[in-house]
Every structure is written in structure tokens, then in C-alpha cells.
Amino acid sequence: MRKEAFFRVFFTLFLISLVFSCSKFRKIEKSTDWRVKYEAALRYYENEDYYRATVLFDQILPIVRGLPEGEKVQFYSAYAQYYQKFYLLASHQFKVFYETYARSAFAQEAQYMYAYSLYANSPAYNLDQTSSIEAVIAMQTFINRFPQSEFRDDATNVIDDIQQKLERKGYENAKQYYKLERYDAAVIAFKSFNRDYPDSQYNEEINYLKFDAQYSWAEKSIRSKQLERFRTAKEFYIDFIDKYPESKYLVQAEKKYGNSLNKINELAKK
């Protein structure tokens, strides 16, 4: 019972505190003095109450724009959006900041945070990667503009992470054509992957699957197209075996390579 009584008292005090806090905030919201809202917004921000800080920042921003306080309001407002995980809105506000206050001591950080907010909004590899690509471009622009920045290493790590995500997406997309037995499309996708990611960890598998897809495509082709396509499969095998002479796919590849040679000889005679 004592524990229940304690929790009842605690909950009652919590509600009273909450009501008082809300009442105080509403009073500040209704104030006609922007300075009152400005000071309160900074306190809310420092106390990590980013929602209330954002509400007040939004109210006074049109008023303080052009004043010394405007710079801080714009900068903190962008961070408040970021901390609430409204990443696209944060990226927009950081961009507005560094374009508006290009000479500010915070301009470099704002440009970095613009790119980082785009990165934070980047989804899993299997979803649309528009935001990821925008983040890479923004980060590279930042590095080019501030090559000695304290944020350079973090920016480089972000670019590396996104490139790995794009690489994974390209790998999965190419394999999807193969799984669906759309071998002609798979060959094109595997070639594109080799070109776009020449140092990828997936390239051994990709090069084997490119050969295998070409071989399967040749097998399923009409007779008039088979000779040309088996010859291309032969070329893919030679390229694969030159790059990966001890590949784990060697046994499967050699068997299909032998079949390709037999088909080429048979078709060439006819």
C-alpha cells in the first residue's frame, strides 16, 4: 500500500508539474514581446525541449531576421529540427542558414550539417536512394570547399558509408534480374556494376554470375543467336578465370565453359 500511495503522490505531482509547464509555455507563446520568446526558446533548447524551442523560434524568426539575434535563431532552429529527426526540414534550414549568413562563424558547420541531415534521412539500401545521392554530392561539395575542415574525416566516412549502401543496392538489383531468369538484362546489369564499382567486394561473384547469365541466355536463345552468345560466354569465362584463378566458383564455371566450347564447335560446323 505504501508503494501505491507513493506512486499516486508522484503521479499527482507530475501532472501538476506538467499542467504548470504547459500553462507557462502558453503564456510565453501569447506574449507580444519577441525577446521573451527568444530567451525562453534558448532555455528550452538548452534543456533539450526541442519541440517548444522550435515553436518559439518559428514565431520570432520573421521578426528577428536581419537582427543580430536572427543568426542564432536560424542556426538553433535548424538543429532543433535535426534533434527531432525532421531531417529534410533540418537540411533545408541549414542550407538557408549558410546561404543567408555566409560570413558567419557557424556557416561551415551549417553546410556540413546540411549534408549530414540528408545522410541521416538516407533509407535502407533496398529503398530509393535519392537522398543518399544528394548527401554524397553535398558532402563532396563541402570537402572541396573546406578541405582543412575539422569535419573532413566525418564527411569522408559518410561518403564511404553511402557508397557501400549504393554498391549493395546495385549488387542486389543486378542479382534480381538473374534470379528472375532475365539473363540478357542481368548481363547488362553485371557489366554496369563492374564499371561503377571496380573495387567491390562482390566482383568475384558478379563476374561469375555474368558468365553464368550469358551462358544461360545462350542456352535459351534461338539457334541463330546461340553461336554469338556462347562465344561471348567463353570471353566472360576467360576474363573471370584471369581475375580469379582460385575462385570458389571455379568448378561450376569450368563445367559450363566446357559445355560452351562444345556448343561453339557444334554450331560452327553447322
Chain segment 150-164, per-residue pLDDT in tens: 999 999 999 999 999
Kindly indicate whether the domain formed by 87-179 is annotated with CATH number 1.10.10.10: no
Q: In this predicted model, what pLDDT tens digit does every residue of 44-54 receive, in sequence order?
A: 999 999 999 99
Distance CA 147, CA 169 (A): 29
pLDDT given at position 270:
67
Residue 208's nearest CA partner among 262, 244, 172, 261 is: 244
pLDDT given at position 66:
84
Residues of the chain with pLDDT under 50: 1, 5-7, 9-20
CATH class held by domain 182-270: mainly alpha
pTM tops 0.95: no
Q: What are the structural domain ranges in the chain?
A: 26-84, 87-179, 182-270
pLDDT given at position 209:
97
Q: Kindly report the three-state secondary structure assignment for every residue of 147-189.
A: CCCCCHHHHHHHHHHHHHHHHHHHHHHHHHHHHCCCHHHHHHH
What the block records as the C-alpha cell of 205 is: 561473384
What the block records as the C-alpha cell of 167 is: 554498391
pLDDT given at position 127:
84
b/e per residue 92-109 (b: at least 16 CB within 10 A): ebbbebbeebeebebbbb
Distance CA 141, CA 115 (A): 9
pLDDT given at position 126:
79
